[in-house]
Structure 1
Amino acid sequence: MITEKYEVKGMTCSHCVNAVSTEVSAIPGVTEVAVDLASGQITVNSTGPLDVQALRNAVDEAGYELVTP
Structure 2
Amino acid sequence: MTPGWEAMTAGRWNIVVGSMTPTAKRAEALEFPAVYYYTPAAFAVHEDFDGAIISDLKEKVIGVTPSSTYHL
The structure carrying a bigger helix percent of its residues is 1
Shared fold (TM-score greater than 0.5)? Answer: no
> TM-score w.r.t. structure 2 length?
0.23
> TM-score w.r.t. structure 1 length?
0.23
Q: Which has the higher contact order (CA 8 A, sep 6+)?
A: 1
The structure carrying a bigger strand percent of its residues is 1
